[in-house]
């Protein structure tokens, strides 16, 4: 299985786990600092968890942007396949193991609370993104027209 296929499988299983945990997860969320979180999950208590999917050792060693995500979440996790070399992952991050369609939260993310103003701004961003994605799914033609109009401006 290619690294891209492993990452896609881990991402899907992790999103399902989020649902079972009562977390609402969005894929590919651009954060205010310009970084893109693989998954941003809104927990039932209003806290945010950023989940970084890693397909293997090479992916982890070459993509070192993940420390930039911590300032935009209450908890940070890595999601990896069971054959990932776990010793590479920092102890101060949560750990999700995913294989096939199943995932397990092995180590919860240590908490580090967001400032209230940042949480409010992130919640607003999350809601706008989720609503926009839902609208695009329900009315693809309307979303395409809107995107074309915005590009023209």
Q: How many CB atoms lie within 10 A of CB 99?
A: 15
Confidence class for position 140, pLDDT limits 50, 70, 90: confident
How far is residue 144's CA from residue 1's CA, in Å, rounded to a whole number? Answer: 34
Architecture of domain 3-112: 3-Layer(aba) Sandwich (3.40)
24 phi and psi angles, rounded to 5 deg: -95, 115
pLDDT > 70: percent of the chain: 99
Q: Is residue 36 classed as helix, strand or coil in its secondary structure?
A: strand
Q: Is residue 137 classed as helix, strand or coil in its secondary structure?
A: helix
Residue 88 has pLDDT above 90, yes or no: yes
How far is residue 3's CA from residue 149's CA, in Å, rounded to a whole number? Answer: 37
Residue 152 has pLDDT above 80, yes or no: no
How far is residue 72's CA from residue 26's CA, in Å, rounded to a whole number? Answer: 14
Q: Do 98 and 79 touch, CB atoms closer than 8 A?
A: yes
6-10, 60-64, 144-148 — which is least confidently predicted?
Answer: 144-148
Q: Domain map of the chain by residue range?
A: 3-112
Q: What is the mean pLDDT of the chain?
A: 92
Does the pTM exceed 0.85?
A: yes
């Amino acid at each position: 299985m290619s690294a891209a296929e492993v990452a896609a499988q881990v991402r899907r299983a992790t999103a399902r786990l989020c649902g079972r945990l009562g977390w609402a997860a969005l894929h590919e969320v651009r954060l205010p600092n310009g970084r893109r979180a693989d998954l941003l999950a809104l927990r039932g208590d209003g806290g945010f968890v950023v989940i970084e999917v890693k397909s293997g050792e090479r992916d982890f060693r070459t993509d070192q942007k993940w420390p930039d995500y911590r300032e935009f979440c209450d908890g940070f996790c890595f999601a990896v396949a069971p054959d990932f070399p776990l010793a590479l992952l920092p102890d101060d991050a949560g750990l999700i193991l995913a294989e096939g369609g199943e995932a397990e939260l092995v180590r919860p993310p240590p908490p580090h609370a967001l400032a209230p103003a940042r949480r409010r701004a992130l919640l607003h961003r999350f809601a706008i993104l989720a609503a926009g994605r839902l609208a695009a799914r329900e009315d693809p033609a309307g979303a395409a027209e809107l995107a074309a109009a915005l590009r023209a401006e």
